[in-house]
Amino acid sequence: MDVLLRIGGDMNLHAVPWLELGLISPVLGAALAARCRDARAGWRIAFSSSGAAFACSLLAWAGHIALAARGEPSPPGVIDRLSGVRIFGLDEMTGPLLPFVALLHLLIVAGTTGGKAARLSFGSLLALESVNLAAFAAIHPQVLAGLLALGTVVPVFELSSRGRSIRLYSAHMGIFLLLLGLGLGVGHREGYATTLAWVPLTVAVLIRCGIAPFHLWIGDLFSRGAFGTAILVVTPMTGVLAAVRLLVPVCPDAALEPLGALSLVTAVYAAGLAVVQVEVRRFMACLCIGNTALVLTGISLGSEIGVTAALGLWISAGIALTGAAFALRAAESRIGVITLVEFRGLYSRAPALAVCFLSAGLATVGFPGTLGLLPLEVLIERAVAANILIGPAIAIAIALNGFAILRAYAIVFTGRPHASVIPLSVTQRERFTVLALALLVFVGGVLPQPLLDSRQEAARALIEQRARHSPATPIPVPRDPDR
Partner 1 sequence: MPDIAQVISTLAVMVAAAPLILMIGVGGSALIGQPPGEPATARLIRMTVSVSLICAVGIFVGMLATGDRHVVLDLGEWVSIRAHEGGHDHVYPFRVKLIFDRLSIPFLVLSLILCGTIGAFAVRYMHRETGFDRFFVLYAMFMLGIVLASVAGTIETLLVGWELVGLSSALLVAFFHERPAPVRNGLRVWVIFRVSDTALVMAAILIHHSLGSGEFERLVGAEAWPGGRASVSSGELLAIGLLIILAAACKSALVPFSGWLPRAMEGPTPSSAVFYGALSVHLGAYLLLRVGPLLDESPALSSIVVVLGLSTALYAYVTASVQTDIKSALSFASLAQVGIIVAEIGLGWRFIPLVHILGHGFLRTLQFLRAPTLLQDYRHLENALGERLPRGAGIGARVFTPRLRTWLYRFALERGYIESLLAEYVGKPFVRLFRWFDRLERNAIDSFGGGESASSTEDGRIASDRR
Contact residues for partner 1, defined by CB under 8 A: 164-169, 171, 216, 219-220, 223-224, 269, 272-273, 275-279, 282, 303-305, 308, 339, 341, 343, 345, 347-348, 352, 355, 362, 367-369, 374, 377-378, 380-382, 384-385, 391-392, 395-396, 398-399, 402-403, 406-407, 410, 413-417, 431, 435, 438, 448-449, 452, 456, 460
Nearer to partner 1, 98 or 440 (CB): 440
User: 55, 10 in Cβ contact below 8 A?
Assistant: no
Nearer to partner 1, 16 or 384 (CB): 384
Task: Name the minimum Å distance from CB 405 to partner 1.
Answer: 10
Nearer to partner 1, 143 or 365 (CB): 365
Nearer to partner 1, 12 or 425 (CB): 425
Q: Which positions ≥6 away from 258 have C-beta within 8 Å? A: 202
Half-sphere exposure of 70 (CA within 13 A, CB side): 15
Nearer to partner 1, 41 or 439 (CB): 439
Nearer to partner 1, 129 or 220 (CB): 220
Written as one letter, the residue type at 86 is R
Dist CA 343 CA 366 (whole Å): 26
- Is residue 213 reached through a cis peptide bond, with omega within 30 degrees of 0 on the bond before it? yes
Task: Name the minimum Å distance from CB 448 to partner 1.
Answer: 6
Nearer to partner 1, 188 or 407 (CB): 407
Among residues 356, 346, 443, which one has the least CA distance to residue 405? 356
Nearer to partner 1, 70 or 162 (CB): 162
Task: Name the minimum Å distance from CB 246 to partner 1.
Answer: 24
Residue 70: Cβ within 10 Å count: 10
Task: Name the minimum Å distance from CB 175 to partner 1.
Answer: 13
Task: Name the minimum Å distance from CB 211 to partner 1.
Answer: 14
Among residues 182, 153, 184, which one has the least CA distance to residue 170? 153
Half-sphere exposure of 116 (CA within 13 A, CB side): 27
Nearer to partner 1, 174 or 369 (CB): 369
Task: Name the minimum Å distance from CB 388 to partner 1.
Answer: 8
At 138, phi and psi to the nearest 5? -75, 135
Task: Name the minimum Å distance from CB 472 to partner 1.
Answer: 20
* Helix, strand, coil percent values for the chain (each to nearest 5): 75, 0, 25
Written as one letter, the residue type at 76 is P
> Coil, helix or strand for 250?
coil
Q: Which positions ≥6 away from 243 have C-beta within 8 Å? A: 205, 209, 259, 296, 299
Element (H, E) at 115: helix 114-119
Dist CA 432 CA 129 (whole Å): 20
Dist CA 424 CA 39 (whole Å): 20
Task: Name the minimum Å distance from CB 273 to partner 1.
Answer: 6
Task: Name the minimum Å distance from CB 279 to partner 1.
Answer: 5
